[in-house]
Structure 1
Amino acid sequence: MYCLSCNTETRRESLEPGLMAEQCPTCQGTWLALEDYRRWLAQVPRQAAADEAAGAEMIEETSPRALRCPDCEQLLQKYRVAGHLKFRLDQCGACRKVWLDGEEWPALRAQGLTHSLLHILSDRGQREVRETESRERLDASWRARLGDADYAEAQRVRAWLSGHPQRALLLAYLQATEPVLG
């Protein structure tokens, strides 16, 4: 097989102990069969999330164009990993294989996500990424409208109210134009 990024012949190598994949010796791109990944998951106990490595969030997608599966020629689907990560994973749905650009597996490892690949590639995982990004955009909008200091104070009050036993009464009081006597 030849690398999807630089067209160099790949070699079957160990991505992690017990996890074999086709890897490019030039750009470190990896063609990973999900069948091999599932076997590896079953053998390896889930490790604690790794500490974030410096710069792991900063990698950019190196294959923004649509890629074709080297096995069946179908277009690979792109999957967002997380809103704060600026790269996408490419998967062939027919062959059940994933293309990882050279820095993507190390970035997944740095974020503690190597055991979450199947979730990332699922409809539910993609929905969660979109929902998180939507919440982050909404928070950024409120921060821009309120300013940093007022936004931080509103967040503090929100957190205080969220578990308060008289939350409804306090909200009614805050919304009343005239003081409410209780």
Structure 2
Amino acid sequence: MKCTSCKAGSLVPAYLDTLFPCHTCDNCGGSFVYLADYLKWKEGNPNLANLTVSGESFEVSETAQAMICPKTGLFMTKYRIASNTDHRIDLSHTINAIWMDKGEWELLKTRGLAGRLNEIFTAPWQNKIRAAKTAEVLDGIYAKEFGENYAAIKAFRELIQPLDNRAEIIAFLVSDDPYKA
């Protein structure tokens, strides 16, 4: 198979991290993995806590453009792995195969996600990432809007949040003159 990421290499049979079968590009180092092979490996290795990255540093690539599945020729869908990284893993829904750019497996291991790879493609996982990104954006907007008072406002909000009369407290605060009837 030809590599559809770099378009220059060939995908040769290999083992990802000597753990499970994959096809690795002999040019860019990306890996094409059948999810069934990963799940079979995962099932046989319940203690994934020992899965760590070696002490040496690693480089992580990212394919920005849409990926074409090297097996089917159809577009693959990109899935975010976490809210605090732009790296995405590509999934071919037709044959349940994934593409990981060079270094992404190591990235998953450093984040403790190598044993949860299949969860990344679920709606709850992606919804959690979207919610975290939304919260991050709103936090930035509020910080800009409220400036140096933002920390105090957040602290006060947390203080009144559990109170039964918080609506009355807010009404008191927004009233031009809370002592007038």
TM-score normalized by the length of structure 1: 0.79
- Change over 3 Å in CA distance of 1:8–1:107 after alignment to 2: same
Letter in 1 for 2:123: D
- Change over 3 Å in CA distance of 1:159–1:43 after alignment to 2: farther
Equivalence map 1:4-15=2 (5 Å): 4-6=4-6, 7-15=8-16
- Structure 2 distance, partners of 1:50, 1:85, is 19
1:172 is aligned to 2:174: no
Equivalent pair of 1:48/1:112 in contact (CA under 8 Å): no
Q: Which runs of 4+ in 1 moved over 6 A?
A: 48-51
- Structure 2 distance, partners of 1:22, 1:11, is 5
Equivalent pair of 1:50/1:111 in contact (CA under 8 Å): no
TM-score normalized by the length of structure 2: 0.79
SS of 1:115 mapped into structure 2: helix
- Structure 1 distance, partners of 2:144, 2:61, is 26
Unaligned runs of 5+ in 2: none
Partner of 1:132: 132
Partner of 1:80: 80
Equivalence map 1:4-153=2 (5 Å): 4-6=4-6, 7-44=8-45, 45-47=47-49, 61=62, 63-147=63-147, 149-153=148-152
Letter in 1 for 2:125: G
- Change over 3 Å in CA distance of 1:143–1:109 after alignment to 2: same
Shift of 1:117: 1.6
- Structure 2 distance, partners of 1:41, 1:72, is 25
- Structure 2 distance, partners of 1:133, 1:171, is 28
- Structure 2 distance, partners of 1:36, 1:49, is 17
- Structure 1 distance, partners of 2:22, 2:61, is 22
Equivalence map 1:150-161=2 (5 Å): 150-161=149-160
Unaligned runs of 5+ in 1: none
Equivalent pair of 1:59/1:86 in contact (CA under 8 Å): no
Letter in 1 for 2:150: Y
Amino-acid identity (%) = 23
- Structure 1 distance, partners of 2:166, 2:50, is 41
Deviates more, 1:85-94 or 1:124-133: 124-133
- Structure 1 distance, partners of 2:143, 2:48, is 37
Count residues in correspondence. 171
- Structure 1 distance, partners of 2:12, 2:109, is 21
Equivalent pair of 2:60/2:101 in contact (CA under 8 Å): no
- Structure 2 distance, partners of 1:31, 1:16, is 13
Letter in 2 for 1:3: C
- Structure 1 distance, partners of 2:3, 2:71, is 12
